[in-house]
């Protein structure tokens, strides 16, 4: 049976921007595993009822249904042990740290920078849901939350440890990429797809790492549709 990944889409079904789904797509490519994607919208909750879940990614692999990006990486290592993603206990602890670093230190600054671009990239039928849930989370309107200057400053400070690491190696996991790189790169793909904001300068070690990540696995990230590829997207 074909593996199927339920994957968040936007105003175009090929606009796939979930940072969590991108983690899984890179992990599947790392393992050399074929799969097909099922486009999914924020408000299509009923389509995931079979998984007892209400958000993506959801991976269906034969009779197995796996939810949450980090758990999917665990599953892939357990069922397909060649080319490990998480590795030994020490490597997994490092990967888990970078998972939380990406979600709690990097993503907030990115969100504050790109939130209005993100709203524009979301399918119109999902925008009321997105606005309502995020404004409740932030305690203010999206327009009030949106502050590129503050967001970029926050992100710049949060990236400092990563700059030091990438000044000494090509990838977070060393000479070759693995789970830590994919966990970190998900938010960068999210921002790249929905926005044209320059998150880092091209002289930054993080920028060079981003370029290497975009070219991995046959240009998986670089070939992905972006909002700028959709004619009239900014009029949607």
- 90-137 pLDDT, tens digit per residue, is 889 999 999 999 999 999 999 999 999 999 999 999 999 999 999 999
Q: What pLDDT was estimated at residue 88?
A: 83
Q: Is residue 201 within 8 Å of 35, Cβ to Cβ?
A: no
In the beta sheet, which residues pair with residue 105?
none
In this structure, the answer to whether residues 167 and 136 fall within a common structural domain is yes
In this structure, the answer to whether residues 124 and 70 fall within a common structural domain is no
In this structure, the answer to whether residues 195 and 140 fall within a common structural domain is yes
- The DSSP annotation for 62-125 comes to TTEEEESHHHHHHHHHHH--SS-SS-SHHHHHHHHHHHHHIIIIIHHHHHHHHHHHHHHHS-HH
Name, in order, each residue with C-beta under 8 angstroms of 42's C-beta and a sequence gap of 6 or more.
Answer: 8, 122, 123, 126, 129, 130
In this structure, the answer to whether residues 114 and 218 fall within a common structural domain is yes
| Total tally of structural domains belonging to the chain | 2
Q: What pLDDT was estimated at residue 168?
A: 94
- The burial class, CB within 10 Å (0-12 / 13-18 / 19+), for 55 is middle
In whole angstroms, how far apart are CA 86 and each of 24, 97, 170, 171, 180?
A: 13, 12, 18, 14, 8
**The domain boundary residue, chosen from 79, 103, 131:** 79
In a domain, 84, yes or no: no
Q: What pLDDT was estimated at residue 91?
A: 86
In this structure, the answer to whether residues 93 and 134 fall within a common structural domain is yes
Where the chain has pLDDT below 50, the residues are none
Question: What CATH code is carried by the domain that includes residue 49?
Answer: 3.40.30.10
In a domain, 39, yes or no: yes
In this structure, the answer to whether residues 204 and 114 fall within a common structural domain is yes
How many whole angstroms separate alpha carbon 143 and alpha carbon 135?
10
Q: What pLDDT was estimated at residue 60?
A: 99
Which domain, by its residues, includes 214?
A: 89-223+231-235
In this structure, the answer to whether residues 183 and 117 fall within a common structural domain is yes
In a domain, 181, yes or no: yes
Q: What pLDDT was estimated at residue 90?
A: 83
Q: What pLDDT was estimated at residue 235?
A: 65
In this structure, the answer to whether residues 144 and 27 fall within a common structural domain is no
Cα Rg of the chain (Å, integer): 17
Q: What pLDDT was estimated at residue 1?
A: 59
Question: What CATH code is carried by the domain that includes residue 114?
Answer: 1.20.1050.10
Other CB atoms within 10 Å distance of the CB of residue 13: 14
How many whole angstroms separate alpha carbon 169 and alpha carbon 140?
40
Q: What pLDDT was estimated at residue 2?
A: 85
Other CB atoms within 10 Å distance of the CB of residue 37: 20
In this structure, the answer to whether residues 115 and 183 fall within a common structural domain is yes
In this structure, the answer to whether residues 100 and 184 fall within a common structural domain is yes
Q: Is residue 21 within 8 Å of 5, Cβ to Cβ?
A: yes
In this structure, the answer to whether residues 167 and 72 fall within a common structural domain is no
In a domain, 10, yes or no: yes
To the nearest 10 degrees (0 to 180), the angle between helices 19-31 and 69-79 is: 10
pTM value surpassing 0.85: yes
């Amino acid at each position: 049976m074909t593996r199927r990944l339920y994957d968040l889409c936007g105003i175009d079904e090929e606009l796939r921007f979930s940072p969590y789904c991108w983690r899984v797509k890179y992990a599947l490519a790392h393992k050399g595993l074929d799969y097909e994607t099922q486009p999914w919208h924020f408000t299509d909750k009923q389509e995931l009822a079979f998984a007892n879940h209400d958000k993506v990614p959801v991976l269906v692999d034969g009779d197995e249904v796996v939810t949450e990006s980090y758990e999917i990486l665990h599953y892939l290592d357990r069922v397909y042990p060649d080319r490990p993603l998480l590795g030994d206990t020490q490597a997994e602890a490092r990967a888990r740290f970078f998972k939380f670093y990406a979600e709690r230190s990097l993503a907030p600054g990115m969100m504050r920078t790109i939130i209005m671009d993100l709203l524009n990239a979301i399918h119109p039928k999902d925008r009321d849901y997105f606005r309502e849930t995020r404004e409740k989370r932030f305690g203010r309107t999206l327009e009030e939350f949106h502050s590129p200057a503050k967001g970029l400053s926050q992100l710049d400070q949060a990236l400092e440890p990563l700059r030091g690491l990438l000044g000494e190696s090509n990838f977070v996991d060393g000479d070759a990429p693995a789970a830590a790189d994919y966990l970190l790169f998900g938010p960068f793909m999210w921002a790249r797809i929905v926005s044209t904001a320059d998150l880092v300068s091209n002289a930054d070690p993080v920028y060079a790492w981003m370029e290497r990540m975009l070219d991995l696995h046959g240009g998986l990230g670089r070939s992905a549709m972006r909002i700028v590829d959709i004619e009239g997207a900014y009029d949607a």
